[in-house]
């Protein structure tokens, strides 16, 4: 409104100046202050125009600022919302983390208990295994002992044999192994009726007996040998008052498998032979370890 009035005044001033140009003398003399006033108005109008321009700029900047502020508020609100969401999520995450930690702690406790139980079980298992091993060893030993006993029970050695015939045997000019040809008993076949030699089939203690009879004309001397070693002897000497000689001996021998036992008729001695009176017997008493 003020701007419009100003422009009107400036127009009037221009017209007045034109009229003044036509009537120079009269005008300058009639309105000396009017032109100054008009110039002052013009200056003010310029200032006003500048101010309006500045005002317009300020309004424009203010509008921009308001727009920026509005956008900033919107962004702030969004940021606050996101922050709230983040806080909510953080709280949930912390709760879950706490739950997980609690669960982990419980699991660790259970794991520790389980490990302890496992360790105990392993220890008991080791003890049981050791006891089982001992039991198995004892069982194996017992089985072997049973087998040995059965084997020993099965191993039976018993024999008796007589010289056989019905005549003197000897005297000879050298030591002679007697052959008892009449086999009475020979369980185990350890006695050889062809050679007169008994061969031990197993290690053990054996019992042997020798009995003899002779007519009293010569010395009677029988020697029982274990391999090359003389063990026992029976002998008798002829006398005028003694028409027949009889003798005997017995011995327990510890033999190894393959050991030989036999009876030797000593040099220049003799014995009577038949199926009944001069005998050689033996049996396995008990079996031993080799």
With CB atoms as reference, the residue minimizing the distance to Ca ion is: 242
- Report, in Å, the least distance between residue 249 CB and Ca ion: 15
258: left (phi over 0), alpha (psi -120 to 50) or beta: left
d(CA 132, CA 106) in angstroms, rounded, equals 38
242 binds Ca ion (CB under 5 A): yes
- Report, in Å, the least distance between residue 245 CB and Ca ion: 4
Copy the structure tokens of residue 76: 């702030």
Q: Which is nearer to Ca ion, 218 or 226 (CB)?
A: 218
- Report, in Å, the least distance between residue 228 CB and Ca ion: 29
- In the shown chain, the binding pattern of residues 70 to 99 toward Ca ion, with x for contact by CB under 5 A and - for none, equals ------------------------------
236 binds Ca ion (CB under 5 A): yes
d(CA 44, CA 269) in angstroms, rounded, equals 187
192 forms bridges with which residues in the sheet?
A: 197
Helices (H) and strands (E) in the chain, counts: 3, 13
Q: Which is nearer to Ca ion, 246 or 254 (CB)?
A: 246
- Is residue 209 a contact partner of residue 248, using CB atoms and an 8 Å limit? yes
- Report, in Å, the least distance between residue 173 CB and Ca ion: 22
Pick the piece of the chain touching Ca ion (CB under 5 A) from 1-9, 49-57, 228-236, 270-278.
228-236
218 binds Ca ion (CB under 5 A): no
- Is residue 181 a contact partner of residue 193, using CB atoms and an 8 Å limit? yes
Q: Which is nearer to Ca ion, 20 or 245 (CB)?
A: 245
d(CA 129, CA 144) in angstroms, rounded, equals 22
d(CA 280, CA 290) in angstroms, rounded, equals 26
212 binds Ca ion (CB under 5 A): no
Residues at the site binding Ca ion, with contacts judged by CB under 5 A: 236, 242, 245
């Amino acid at each position: 409104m003020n701007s419009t009035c100003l422009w009107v005044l400036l127009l009037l001033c221009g017209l007045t100046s034109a009229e003044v140009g036509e009537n120079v003398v009269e005008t300058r003399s009639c309105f000396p202050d009017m032109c100054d006033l008009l110039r002052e108005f013009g200056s003010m109008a310029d200032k006003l125009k500048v101010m309006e321009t500045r005002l317009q700029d300020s309004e424009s900047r203010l509008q921009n600022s308001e727009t920026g502020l509005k956008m900033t508020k919107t962004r702030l609100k969004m940021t606050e919302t996101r922050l709230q969401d983040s806080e909510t999520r953080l709280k949930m995450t912390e709760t879950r983390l706490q739950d997980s930690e609690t669960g982990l702690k419980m699991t660790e406790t259970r794991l520790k208990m389980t490990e302890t139980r496992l360790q105990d079980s392993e220890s008991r298992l080791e003890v049981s295994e050791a006891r089982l091993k001992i039991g198995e060893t004892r069982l194996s030993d017992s089985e072997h002992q049973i087998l040995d006993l059965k084997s020993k029970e099965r191993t039976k050695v018993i024999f008796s044999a007589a010289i056989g015939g019905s005549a003197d045997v000897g005297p000879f000019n050298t030591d002679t192994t007697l052959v008892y040809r009449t086999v009475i008993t020979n369980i185990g076949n350890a006695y050889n009726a062809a050679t007169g030699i008994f061969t031990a089939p197993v290690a053990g203690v054996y019992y042997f007996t020798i009995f003899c009879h002779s007519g009293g004309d010569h010395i009677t001397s029988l020697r029982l040998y274990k391999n090359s070693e003389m063990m026992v002897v029976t002998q008798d000497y002829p006398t005028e008052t003694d028409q027949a000689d009889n003798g005997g001996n017995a011995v327990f021998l510890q033999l190894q498998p393959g050991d030989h036992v036999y009876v030797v008729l000593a040099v220049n001695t003799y014995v009577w032979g038949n199926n009944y009176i001069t005998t050689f017997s033996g049996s396995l008493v008990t079996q031993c370890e080799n």
